[in-house]
Amino acid sequence: MESSHVVVGRPRELDFEYMRWLVAVVEAHVETTLDPDKLRITHLGGGACSMARYLADVYLNSRNTVVELDGKLAELVREWFELPKAPRVKIRVGEAREVTETFAPSSRDIIIRDVFAGYVTPTPLTTLEFTQIVSEALSPEGLYIINCGDNRDLAGARAEAAAIAEVFEHTCAVADSAMFKGRRRGNVIIAGSHAPLPVTGENITAQITKRLLGGGVPAQYKDDAWVRNFARGVRPRRDGADTVDLKALDEDLRKGEQ
């Protein structure tokens, strides 16, 4: 699976469209709500640390902790890809949910979830209970933002939107038009915060919209009202109640891509 793209010496070059969408929301939230000089950022799912390298370069005083399951990968990434030294970028080897459950309350400002087993995110990282754990670990104005890979039926994205909308007062989503219309499989970025996020009509949203229209795959920013309507009537996944056959779903998504 392609999970990262790194240009050595150019940490702000993000090849994957969804990563550019993600940082557009992150940077807007930092600009309006958080202190850019005191950011505590956790990346659940590291790969080659593309996102951590980017944010460490944009916010020079930020502390980025990358949680990566593959210890050997973490070792090679640290060796090969010119990562800033800890605490600017620290790699913690472990399973994302187990590590998240150890976080102290209000100890993070931004939590980015980009964890995949094949084409899908492991179910324990998509449930309402996990979202509540993340919320407790965030500062009062913190941001939780996820990369949801989904098929054209958007069932997974709706369930994740339902969980985030139940836990957080403010939400938003980003994807390209074809994805939102269920015409293909791909990525949906969903974010939640207890603090207001950029909303339709404000200048910051216009800036995000202009930014998202650039690149090879133009994307759309959707506000809180849209996300709640998108998730209407859908139950969030629950620990121990909803199970997903990851192998079967992964195979379905691969067929959809072909």
Q: Which long-range contacts (CB under 8 A, 24 or more apart) does 13-20 make?
A: 14/50, 14/51, 14/54, 16/50, 17/176, 17/187, 17/215, 17/216, 17/217, 17/219, 18/147, 18/187, 18/189, 19/50, 19/51, 19/54, 20/215
User: 17-257 architecture in CATH?
Assistant: 3-Layer(aba) Sandwich (3.40)
**What interhelical angle do 50-58 and 17-32 show, nearest 10?**
30
pTM value > 0.85: yes
pLDDT of residue 118: 83
Per-domain residue ranges of the chain: 17-257
Q: What is the pLDDT along the chain (258 residues), one digit of tens a residue?
A: 788 899 999 999 999 999 999 999 999 999 999 999 999 999 999 889 999 999 999 999 999 999 999 999 999 999 999 899 999 999 999 999 999 999 999 999 999 999 998 888 999 999 999 999 999 999 999 999 999 999 999 999 999 999 999 999 999 999 999 999 999 999 999 999 999 998 877 788 888 999 999 888 999 999 999 999 999 999 999 999 745 555 555 555 555 554
pLDDT of residue 252: 56
